Amino acid sequence: MNTFKTGILMSLMMGLFLVVGAMIGGQNGMLFAFVLAAGLNLFAYWNSDKMLLSMFGARQVDAGSEPELYRLVEKLAGNAKLPMPKVFISENPQPNAFATGRNPEHAAVCVTTGLLAKTSKEELAGVIAHELGHVRNRDTLIMTITAVIAGAIGMLAHMAFFMGGGERRNNPLGFVGILLVTLLAPLAAMLVQAAISRSREFEADKAGAEFTGKPLWLANALAAIESSARRIDNPAADANPATAHLFIINPLHGGISGLFATHPPTEERIARLRAMAGAPAPASGPWG
């Protein structure tokens, strides 16, 4: 069901992109938008992982430099029946992690130094298993494409405003239509992107719990990471907020909640994991 929902949402995202192109220049504008989307996604398909890892100053590690981490990833990848991904560490005090790569054969898992310092081995295993869930479900490609299209929609909306709508005869709403597109199209793209991201997080949580066989490892990790992420800055993510949806926990402070949130409520994620483990909800505490 979530896969079907994701397909529908991605179709809506692409449809919105074409509508903005049509507002710029009618059929020619729509064709321009289609070609632009194809070019951007082709570039993202081949280069997004390198760009993202570079953005966060990640360094690749192996069995010689980080034997415990590497062996843990290797074991969990085996449990998930996935090829061994590349392993990276980002020098960042905020505990967090993300996965990237165009497919399971070209995947990478990146953890922060804060995550290594502030989680137990069991919690770390839960986090890595979650990221491998994204790899197995090919969310790394899905979320890259949606992020690229969402950003391009914002770019085209601004072009529509400054170009005055291109061929006015193809834009019956005139300036009012351009103004509406400029204001509403980026917001609509954010809504769709957030909805896709939230549904994929739940699926990755479920897969991660299956790979370890211990849903509470991930539940405990989510609680610990959420608590720390609220207090510890992530400067690289703050400088590149469009990447926030890739992390296991939202790395940004403040942010937009509700419909625009890129992550489901952490307490809901924990509740689902506890239900998978057959564990009762705690009598008190923030995670329910």
Tally of domains in the chain: 1
Q: Name, of 120-129, 142-151, 179-188, the range with top average pLDDT.
A: 120-129
Q: What is the mean pLDDT of residues 124-139?
A: 96
CA atoms in the 13 A half-sphere facing the CB of 82: 30
- In this prediction, residue 96 carries a pLDDT of 97
Q: Name the residue range of residue 258's domain.
A: 53-152+183-277
The answer to whether residue 255 scores a pLDDT higher than 60 is: no
Q: What is the mean pLDDT of residues 258-286?
A: 77
Of 106, 136, 101, 110, whose CA–CA distance to 210 is shortest?
Answer: 136
The answer to whether residue 71 scores a pLDDT higher than 80 is: yes
The more confidently predicted of residues 70 and 164 is 70
Q: Name, of 56-70, 166-180, 257-271, the range with top average pLDDT.
A: 56-70
- The CATH number of the domain holding residue 74 is 3.30.2010.10
Work out the pLDDT band at 32, boundaries 50, 70, 90: confident
| Rg value, the chain, Cα | 20
Does 189 map to a domain?
yes
Q: What is the mean pLDDT of residues 231-246?
A: 87
Does 120 map to a domain?
yes
Does 2 map to a domain?
no
Does 285 map to a domain?
no
Does 18 map to a domain?
no
The answer to whether residue 18 scores a pLDDT higher than 90 is: no
Length of the chain: 288
- In this prediction, residue 202 carries a pLDDT of 93
Q: What is the mean pLDDT of residues 202-228?
A: 96
- In this prediction, residue 163 carries a pLDDT of 59
Cβ contacts of residue 157 below 8 Å, gap of 6+?
20, 181, 182, 185, 186
Work out the pLDDT band at 288, boundaries 50, 70, 90: very low
Structural contact between residues 114 and 95, judged by C-beta atoms closer than 8 angstroms = yes
- In this prediction, residue 171 carries a pLDDT of 52
Q: What is the mean pLDDT of residues 240-251?
A: 87
Per the listing, tokens 């079907």 go with: 4
- In this prediction, residue 285 carries a pLDDT of 41
Q: Name, of 38-47, 48-57, 116-125, 144-153, the range with top average pLDDT.
A: 116-125
- In this prediction, residue 259 carries a pLDDT of 52
Q: Which residues have a catalytic role annotated? A: 131
Does 45 map to a domain?
no
Work out the pLDDT band at 169, boundaries 50, 70, 90: very low
Full-model pTM: 0.80
Work out the pLDDT band at 142, boundaries 50, 70, 90: confident
Structural contact between residues 94 and 250, judged by C-beta atoms closer than 8 angstroms = no
Does 264 map to a domain?
yes
Does 255 map to a domain?
yes
Give the largest Cα separation in the chain, rounded. Answer: 65
Work out the pLDDT band at 227, boundaries 50, 70, 90: very high
The more confidently predicted of residues 140 and 284 is 140
The answer to whether residue 177 scores a pLDDT higher than 70 is: no
What does the CA dihedral 69, 73, 76, 82 come to, rounded to 10 degrees?
-170
